[in-house]
Amino acid sequence: MMTLDLEKLKKGASVFGLLLSQKQLELFDIFAAALLEGNKRANLVGAPDAETLLSHHLLDSLSCLIAIPENCLRTIDVGSGAGLPGLPLAIARPDMSVTLLDSSVKRSAFVREVIARLGLRNAEVVCARAEDAGRDQSLREGYDCVVARAVAPLPTLVEYALPFLRSGGTFVAQRGPKAAEESDSAGFAITELNGLLKAVTKVDVPLVSAERYLVEIEKTGPTPARYPRRCGVPLKRPLTGS
């Protein structure tokens, strides 16, 4: 028995230029079933039913592909939580390796279990704080793309994300209706970490009425050695220039 309306998923994904195979659709269905089952034990996502999960989480996650370059080979999802947007991206782009970073042991264990169930060879989990992981030389400046949903205010999120990017890489932040205002407030942080605001793009996600935007930031040079600052500081004292 299917959890999702796979025709709606297929049609919605096509809006972002995706032609999902039957196998990919089935993988999304398995992921959705795991999320809904996991929600009974812990609050993994704010989705009370399969319809909301399809629109506000799966299709919303896939909207990132509008801004992710086609030649992107390595992506890290910062603050992945229950695997969003990272796992939908890994399913949709089997040519791209995806690292799912989260500090919660329980959420990370859930995502590892789902990856095994899906048989995904292009996804891995790292359980760590972003500030610590950003100083890990095996991760630092090793990615073509970073993605993140509404993990933190944008100035803080910039400090979390940009240390993972190689020069020339792209940070794609999913934001709400105040994306332009947030981008202005993050201007100092973007410059300080050698980034450049490329675009704030409105995205129409099928079946979602709320405003969605993608903030695209290009990495223009190496991250200064002093960033990210120690755990907790980017959130308590965001880089605003004031």
pLDDT tens column, 73-132: 999 999 999 999 999 999 999 999 999 999 999 999 999 999 999 999 999 999 999 999
Q: What pTM was computed for the model?
A: 0.96
**Given this model, what pLDDT does residue 40 score?**
76
CB 192 within 8 A of CB 239: yes
pLDDT digits (tens, 9 = 90+) for 40-57: 777 777 777 899 999 999
Phi then psi for 42, rounded to 5 degrees?
Answer: -155, 155
Q: What are the residue ranges spanned by the domains of the chain?
A: 71-236
CB 199 within 8 A of CB 173: no
Per-residue pLDDT, averaged over 4-23, amounts to 96
> By mean pLDDT, which of 45-49, 192-196, 238-242 is the weakest?
45-49
151 vs 132, more confident: 132
* Contacts with 139 (C-beta within 8 Å, 6 or more apart), sequence order: 76, 99, 126, 133, 164
**Given this model, what pLDDT does residue 16 score?**
94
- Kindly indicate the confidence band of residue 242, based on its pLDDT and cuts at 50, 70 and 90: low
* Contacts with 137 (C-beta within 8 Å, 6 or more apart), sequence order: none
CATH class of the structural domain 71-236: alpha beta
> Chain-wide mean pLDDT for the chain?
95
**Given this model, what pLDDT does residue 150 score?**
79
